[in-house]
């Protein structure tokens, strides 16, 4: 009888180990798809993980990121909220949700998320830049300039932060500062960047006033 119990126990352990190994493989495959920017596949693969492990926060987080890159911001937000409800300590969760909220014009919530992320990641130039963009759209120019400046202080080669700050300097008629930042943007991003034609136009507007 003991021998039968031992065999049953070994079968249960073997089956459990096989299931765990299969789930680990699914998770890794989903992560690889996300990392390689195959977002449609990542959504499908993370969905399979969730079917068998519905309380696994990283799967919702990964699928939320994939949905975000597919411009499905509503579904991204649903998954990121679910991930938070399961595990508030997922790396980059609040940064990702801040971006999703900003895309859905939930600007105050975006600021809350990005501020929370910055609190735990004070050296993230990307987070300051993202929050600066939200402040820009809220027309909180001083806060936006502060965040763009902080992003630049953390990463002196952050071309887009110079561009954002230059726009606000131009709006506030601080033309010398605007020209300096536009020049830095061109130096860092080059004349083949998508924003170069707009930067050139704005520089000409300033120069033509003299």
| Residue 162, domain member (yes or no) | no
For the segment 153-183, what is each residue's pLDDT rounded down to a tens digit?
Answer: 999 999 999 999 999 999 999 999 999 999 9
Please give the Cα distance from 133 to 164 (Å, whole number): 8
Residue 194 falls inside a structural domain: no
CATH of the domain at 56: 1.25.40.10
**Whole-angstrom Cα distance, residue 181 to residue 201?**
14
- By the 10 Å C-beta count (0-12 exposed, 13-18 middle, 19+ buried), 191 is classed as exposed
Alpha helices in 36-120 (DSSP H): 39-52, 57-69, 73-86, 93-103, 107-120
Domain assignment of residue 65, given as a range: 23-90
Q: Percent of the chain at pLDDT above 90?
A: 80
User: For position 39, what pLDDT does the model report?
Assistant: 94
**Position 22 confidence tier, pLDDT thresholds 50, 70, 90:** low
**pLDDT of the residue at 52:** 87
pLDDT at 168: 98
Report d(CA 37, CA 27) in Å as an integer. Answer: 15
Residue 174 covered by a domain: no
The CB-side HSE value for 132 (13 A sphere, CA atoms) comes to: 25
Q: What confidence tens digit (pLDDT) does each residue in 144-154 have?
A: 999 999 999 99
Instruction: With beta carbons less than 8 A apart as the criterion, state whether 17 and 1 touch.
Output: no
- Residue 14: the pLDDT is 41
Q: Is residue 66 part of a domain?
A: yes
Higher model confidence: residue 15 or residue 82? 82
Residue 127's CB is within 10 A of a number of other CB atoms, namely 28
pLDDT at 15 over 70: no
Domain count, the chain: 1
3-state secondary structure of 174: coil
pLDDT in tens, 27-58: 888 888 889 999 999 999 999 999 988 999 99
């Amino acid at each position: 009888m003991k021998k039968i119990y031992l065999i049953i126990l070994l079968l249960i352990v073997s089956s459990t180990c096989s299931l765990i190994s299969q789930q680990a493989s699914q998770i890794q495959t989903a992560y690889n798809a996300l990392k390689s920017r195959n977002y449609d596949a990542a959504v499908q693969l993370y969905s399979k993980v969730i079917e068998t492990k519905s309380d696994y926060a990283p799967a919702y987080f990964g699928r939320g990121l994939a949905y975000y890159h597919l411009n499905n911001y509503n579904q991204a937000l649903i998954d990121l909220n679910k991930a938070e409800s399961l595990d508030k300590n997922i790396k980059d969760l609040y940064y990702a949700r801040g971006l999703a909220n900003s895309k859905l014009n939930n600007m105050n919530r975006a600021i809350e998320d990005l501020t929370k992320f910055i609190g735990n990641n004070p050296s993230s130039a990307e987070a300051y830049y993202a929050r600066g963009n939200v402040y820009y759209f809220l027309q909180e120019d001083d806060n936006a300039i502060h965040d763009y400046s902080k992003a630049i202080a953390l990463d002196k080669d952050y071309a887009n932060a110079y561009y954002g700050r230059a726009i606000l300097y131009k709006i506030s008629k601080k033309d010398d500062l605007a020209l300096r930042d536009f020049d830095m943007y061109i130096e860092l991003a080059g004349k083949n960047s998508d924003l170069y034609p707009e930067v050139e136009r704005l520089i000409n507007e300033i120069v033509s006033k003299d």
